[in-house]
Amino acid sequence: MRMMLLFLAVVLSNIISANSKPSTINFFEGDFNSAIEKAGQEGKLFFVDFYASWCTPCIWMDETTFSDIEVIEVLSENYIAMKIDIDDLDGYNIKQKYQIHILPSLLIFNSKGEIVERIEETLAPRKMVELLLSHKNDIKLIKQHSLNSSPQKNIAISNNLSELSQAQEEAAITNTPSKTKFRIQVGVFKEYENTYNLVDSLKSKLEEPLLVLSDYQNSKHVYRVLIGEFNTELEAQTFQNRLENEFNIKGIIK
């Protein structure tokens, strides 16, 4: 009888323990600065996922990575997590501040509000857990990381996508962001170097903001180059015609 009671107690304890674990990520819904402050107060790291409603790899991460029970557990225990829509007014301004030009982009801050890592690629659950656990003890420790490193080759690429021209930044700021934006896709590449070559060429010709989407096509990693942030489809079509007529660049509206 005592063994049976002990067995039932262990089973009940496991059930209670399992039920006490979060089943979803409780993303912070306040403003950006409040999230950083909350992370500092609780002695946690601050995790930010930059996304857009039209970003297919972002949607994939929501359905897989951010739904994974181990990812949920590690984030909940060690991080204050926040999602930022780059097409939202506040999100747009934060995107500009941290020079987000690739989606998805993930930033990790320590409790002092300093960036300890930037990831610009789609992460599967296992890789996300490894990333999150690698920073568990970095509450106040600052590590140096290369920005805009290639997800496939892991090579440092500086002075490129995160250093768009001042004219582009000013053009981006003058556009009033909204929940819906139209962009023109002007290239899809398997190699990051080819992506950079196109971006570098466009920077010398145009002032519109550029965005690189880290995506998957037929189970292979690709980079999509998007240009512009147009409020209406008509504006996008007008610019699409200009691209083709003046620069012989063909694109599709996204």
Domain 26-134 has CATH 3.30.360.10: no
Are 216 and 222 in contact, with CB atoms under 8 Å apart? Answer: yes
Of the candidates 197, 254, 185, which has an alpha carbon nearest to the alpha carbon of residue 224?
A: 185
Q: How confident is the model at residue 139 (pLDDT cuts 50, 70, 90)?
A: low
CATH superfamily for domain 161-253: Sporulation related repeat (3.30.70.1070)
Residue ranges, comma separated, of all CATH 3.30.70.1070 domains in the chain are: 161-253
Residue ranges, comma separated, of all CATH 3.40.30.10 domains in the chain are: 26-134
Global pTM value: 0.66
Q: How confident is the model at residue 71 (pLDDT cuts 50, 70, 90)?
A: very high
Judged by average pLDDT, the poorest of 45-49, 107-111, 170-174, 244-248 is 170-174
| Residue 68 three-state SS | coil
| Beta strand spans in the chain (E) | 45-51, 79-85, 102-103, 105-109, 115-119, 182-189, 210-217, 220-230, 252-253
Cα torsion for 108, 111, 113, 117, to the nearest 10°? -20
> Beta 252-253 vs 182-189: how paired, if at all?
antiparallel
Give the pLDDT confidence of 13-44 residue by residue, as tens digits. 554 444 556 678 999 999 999 999 999 888 89
What pLDDT is attached to residue 4?
A: 56
